[in-house]
Structure 1
Amino acid sequence: MVKSRRNIFLIAVFVLSYFTVHSSQFTPPKADNISHFTFHISEDTAKAGLYDTGKMWTFEFPPYQYLKEKYGFEAAEEWFNDVRLSALRIPGCTASFVSDDGLVMTNNHCAGGVKRQVQKEGEDIEKTGFYAATLEEERKIPNYVAEQLVFLKDITADVTAEIAKGKDLKEKISIREKTMKDMKAKYEKETGLKCDVITYYNGSLFFVQGFKVFRDVRLVFTPEEQIGYFGGDPDNFTFPRYNLDCTFYRVYDENGKPVESKNFFKWSENGASEGELVFTVGNPGSTNRLRTVAQLEYLRDVQYRNMSFLMNSLYNKLAELKVTNPSRADEYEDLRLAFSNGWKSITTTYKALNDPYLMARKKDFERKAVEFVNSNPDLKNTYGDVWRSIATTRAEMAEIDKKIAPFFVNNTYSSRYWVIANELVRYATQMQLPEEKRDTTLKTKRYKDFIA
């Protein structure tokens, strides 16, 4: 039976690190084609907004009041718990329960390696797709898990009490790391769950997250690559989509039976309508929302500028090689796909950093923060010099970067010969150390093959 969900259509399955919804097609900028505005934007008229630092929230701190005031949406704690328990974490991606018998949905590209793991001799699932018409035909994925966040606990008081016992910064850091490790072991023993101790706001808060781990995950459906990746890379990071970008798994319990998933996202018959409140649930990477103006200017003028140039050059060159070397077109497209999400993120962020209006709003935000700190003698004594210190170090880093940038080595963007030379120097340096102090990566098969 098809059911809607409280008039809220939750997008909780199309997420890798996070799924960005745009009202128009995404067109990443070229590094040499960033718009530079010549008009003056007054910091007196460009004001910081309430949520200029973003609208990504954790389940520990749902924005109840904001949702009520902004959208008239009054969500109880039970609603957020239902959403949290419906979402899943899988290797490299986010997924969600979409039925009461363990059916799970995720992106097509999240199953890239899975297809190769479960296909039998003579099959080419990427070309033909796969569909299990019965439970018996579903294929178990080797060494694969799905994790459900079922436990949350604030342990800030416990951790900070231990940290306070440290005599200096070095000892405090050591105590913090040991305490987090001990807390992880403690709660894993108490709950029987896989636990992670995480920090929020640069170590201001500490939480334990406990995950129920499902170790029997089976492939139910995945489309042919031609329709799953239809539109190619340009259609990625856009909405609406015009391909079948999905894969279905089923999660089984320890007795080999489909999991009874009480919390799941129900199919919406009509989808989202214009102006409707939409939520995205996922497992994004870390954020740096409170970077200072000086830090953002450094990223704009140095780091992201350089990275945008390199990534654009490589992306465009691979497109050119697809045309000039058609026999290797698939290989070049795979290389483009491998780094395209990062390319879009970097180049679009670079474009935003060059937007004077956005930067003016950030400056207004920072001005108010500095004024607040300086209005309190205790805060001023502790934090009043932070912004100046950061600005000084960014200026120093910008000068240093000019000297070291040519020696930047990266497997993706650097010459293969440069990577080999760098590894040989590293190998020679490591071999001068006692064996117990050498980097453990030297013992891996991949590294031994590389040296050979």
Structure 2
Amino acid sequence: MKKLFVLFFVFLATLGRADEGMWLPLLIDRLNYVDMQKEGLKLTAEEIYSINHSSLKDAIIQFGNGCTGEMISSQGLVLTNHHCGYGAIQSHSTIEHDYLADGFWAMNLKEELPNEGLTARFLVRIEDVTARVLEGLNDQMTERERNAKISELSKAIQSEATQGTGYDARVASFFNGNEFYLFVYEVFRDVRLVGAPPSSIGKFGADTDNWLWPRHTGDFSLFRVYTGPDGKPASFSDENIPMKPRHHLPVSLDGYEKGDFAMIMGYPGSTDRYLTSWGVNLAIEISNPTIVKIRGKKLDIMRKDMDANREVAIKYASKYAGVSNYWKYFIGQTRGLKRLKVLEDKQKIENEFQVWVNADPVRMEKYGKVLSDIEAAYKTYGEYTLQRWYFIESVMRGAEVMTLAQSFTGLGNELGEKAPSQEKIDRMKQALTKSVERHFKNYNRPTDVKLLSAMLQMYYENVPVQQQPEAFRQMVAKNKGDFNRIAGNIFARSIFADEAKVRAFLEKPSLKVLKKDPAYTLSVMMVEKYRENQKNLDAANEMLERGNRLFVAGLREMQPERKFYPNANSTMRLTYGKVLDYYPADAVHYNYFTTLKGVMEKEDPDNWEFVVPAKLKALYEKKDFGPYAMDNGQMPVAFLSTTDITGGNSGSPVINGKGELIGLAFDGNWEAMSGDIAFEPELQRTISVDIRYVLFIIDKYAGAKNIINELTLVPKGRKAEKEISSDGMPVDVRPEN
């Protein structure tokens, strides 16, 4: 027995090595600072995270709704990934001005392009509010009651934190509901497009290379945050001025060497590192294959129409990229979970946890039913997982005519009230008018007809019969299983298939019209059946939520000396490690960086994913790399580090030990796609574009010297503390105090 405990703790110790972990910046000084110094950090903890002084956190933004960006100039210039800015770039692209194909570069402030709805979110502070929240909870509460109380307390805390400030706030749950932290933000709403390389650089390798190393992608784009004349957040106006950030990152021309310290700050979206074996099994056997199957069908339909028509290709570029990214991700995750035997590893942890629980009557009282409850919950989940994913992927995210119709249900509900509120109706009409405009700007009806037919057929053929709406089954029977006919009928009769009809409806909305609309009624019946199905999971949800919360609490109690980090939840985190190569398989070694030579080696003029621009080839042939080449004369493109990231970290800065920018993260590697569930230290790598390649493209390829002149460049071979800025004056490139 004692030997088992020793082996278990050795196993867990490997999980806590320096390269693993998405750490809260607030806790860096207490949990990580000494280890980071040993790895090569030169900054103080206060220079990383501070409320009273400018620090690295002030240069990191949550870009839009799902990426990270960093401030790289004193004039509000933002660097993020090309794929993070892709939607904005696409929105400005037309056949006449094809910024996706040709790139875009603003040579002055007046040429920068506004982006409605795009925001930059700056973290003001983090506060531990665990004690205050837990005071309002007790062990007699059901999970539903507990969540309701947490929501009530969180709203009060958020209100207090933002009253009279103009800030936004969020109380986030950590460690499956065992800790709570308040995050206060300042949100800027005028964010303009400054620059983007052509997709032949920014998406070089596209789907083929996605999630794979070696990479040769210049995955970056540039934006600028504007404020009102008073320096405060403001909606777009010609009177607005470039933001003056509290801190911006100096840009290193020195590069890196194998083993160098590297850290990343950003907004990782979601991980599930404490997922149990039953959750892993559900992902492998049902969830992941289902998502892959549905998304694969969508991609086939979109790709054919995009290849046939450039206008359709522009309209659907961002949509296709969004579907494709996680289609390939889930293929890789399933492969990784199986290959790395994650299920077996989880089972070992659970077995040892149960041994620890059984060894003490007090622990038995508290944790004795945890694993059995989780197992029982997942058994019920398995019965409803197919309907869940086919509803989400085929109905809600399938044909856009259904998505648009679903967005009108709030208006339909209000129209159905005994005393409808005209104020609410007018407000919804205004919001829906904007969404209709966005919808039809990037819409191709023939493509959507094909998507609707295919998605409804997949739903019909794969969801258990008793979990489908009876009216839908009758509709299919009436049309003798002809889904092309069903889709054709819906598009022929629905107002949501025609922009003019939808606009006319919004001028004079009518519940009677909605109730007769085939897309609307199909959407409503699908949603109602889904909710009915989900009600059957109430008991399982209760068991699973309570079980997961107690399981994580028990793990932490069992290992009081271990430094635990919470799952990602779209809050700011810091991860650190080394620039390092890796060995993905027997007799295979991958170097830790790639060069422009690799771009030329991959060139394929007949494959849109690997087209190389003529100007880039000319620069390569002349070796005209400016001051951005490596010491050996080669032009670096991308590099690897052992940092711990996930979706949401896209665009995050890779920072050296002196607080200087050396790259920006854009991907993970194929061999470790199981990383959101289990970190694999020997295999897991962050793929980042080298900042020197970014500068080379901006300067030598685009000729956008105006952008280069804004940056605080740290010359090669110089100390970071005092350097020369672009205007020739000495500057302090460490965080200002």
Q: How does 1:126-205 map to 2 (within 5 A)?
A: 126-164=100-138, 170-189=144-163, 191-205=165-179
Alpha-carbon distance change, 333 to 262 in structure 1, aligned in 2, over 3 angstroms: closer
Separation in 1 of the partners of 2:248 and 2:285? 45
Unaligned 5+ residue runs, structure 2? Answer: 1-6, 50-54, 230-239, 437-493, 498-513, 518-737
**More moved, 93-102 vs 157-166:** 157-166
Task: Using the aligned pairs only, state the percent identity.
Answer: 22
* Offset from partner CA, 1:12-36 (integer Å, 9 cap, x none): xxxxxxxxxxxxxxxxxxxxxxxxx
* Offset from partner CA, 1:116-154 (integer Å, 9 cap, x none): 666799644334432222334334434432111121111
1:410 deviates by 3.0
1:405 deviates by 7.6
Q: Indicate the residue corresponding to 2:248 in structure 1.
A: 264
Alpha-carbon distance change, 121 to 236 in structure 1, aligned in 2, over 3 angstroms: closer
Does the 8 Å contact 2:76/2:225 carry over to 1?
A: yes
1:449 is aligned to 2:496: yes
* Offset from partner CA, 1:174-216 (integer Å, 9 cap, x none): 2221111121111111644211111111221111111122233
Q: 1:345 aligns with which of 326, 329, 338?
A: 329
1:48 is aligned to 2:95: no
TM-score w.r.t. length of structure 2:
0.47
Q: 2:48 aligns with which of 80, 87, 104?
A: 80
The letter of the residue matching 2:64 is P
1:387 is aligned to 2:361: no
Q: 1:245 aligns with which of 202, 219, 235?
A: 219
Q: 2:206 aligns with which of 198, 210, 232?
A: 232
Alpha-carbon distance change, 244 to 73 in structure 1, aligned in 2, over 3 angstroms: closer
Give the secondary-structure state (helix, strand or coil) at the position aligned to 2:252: coil
1:247 deviates by 1.5
Does the 8 Å contact 2:290/2:389 carry over to 1?
A: no
1:435 deviates by 6.7
The letter of the residue matching 2:62 is R
Alpha-carbon distance change, 120 to 253 in structure 1, aligned in 2, over 3 angstroms: farther
Give the secondary-structure state (helix, strand or coil) at the position aligned to 1:48: helix
RMSD between aligned residues: 4.3
Does the 8 Å contact 1:162/1:175 carry over to 2?
A: yes
The alignment covers a number of residue pairs equal to 403
Alpha-carbon distance change, 198 to 70 in structure 1, aligned in 2, over 3 angstroms: same
1:398 is aligned to 2:445: no
Does the 8 Å contact 1:411/1:419 carry over to 2?
A: no
Does the 8 Å contact 1:47/1:360 carry over to 2?
A: no
Separation in 2 of the partners of 1:363 and 1:406? 26
1:166 deviates by 8.1
Q: Indicate the residue corresponding to 1:67 in structure 2.
A: 35
**More moved, 62-71 vs 192-201:** 62-71
* Offset from partner CA, 1:329-373 (integer Å, 9 cap, x none): 837766542212211221121112213533333233333333333
The letter of the residue matching 1:59 is P
Does the 8 Å contact 1:272/1:278 carry over to 2?
A: no
* Offset from partner CA, 1:283-311 (integer Å, 9 cap, x none): 22222211111221222222223333444
Unaligned 5+ residue runs, structure 1? Answer: 1-43
Q: Indicate the residue corresponding to 2:77 in structure 1.
A: 103
Q: Indicate the residue corresponding to 2:23 in structure 1.
A: 57
Structure 1 or 2, whichever has the larger Rg, is 2
Separation in 2 of the partners of 1:79 and 1:312? 46
The letter of the residue matching 1:273 is E
Give the secondary-structure state (helix, strand or coil) at the position aligned to 1:144: coil
Does the 8 Å contact 2:288/2:334 carry over to 1?
A: yes
Alpha-carbon distance change, 219 to 313 in structure 1, aligned in 2, over 3 angstroms: closer
**More moved, 127-136 vs 286-295:** 127-136
Does the 8 Å contact 1:115/1:126 carry over to 2?
A: yes
Alpha-carbon distance change, 271 to 376 in structure 1, aligned in 2, over 3 angstroms: farther
1:387 deviates by 0.6
Give the secondary-structure state (helix, strand or coil) at the position aligned to 2:266: coil
Does the 8 Å contact 2:105/2:196 carry over to 1?
A: yes
* Offset from partner CA, 1:231-276 (integer Å, 9 cap, x none): 2222333456434322212223321443333422221213232222
Q: Indicate the residue corresponding to 1:369 in structure 2.
A: 353
TM-score w.r.t. length of structure 1:
0.73
Q: Indicate the residue corresponding to 2:393 in structure 1.
A: 410
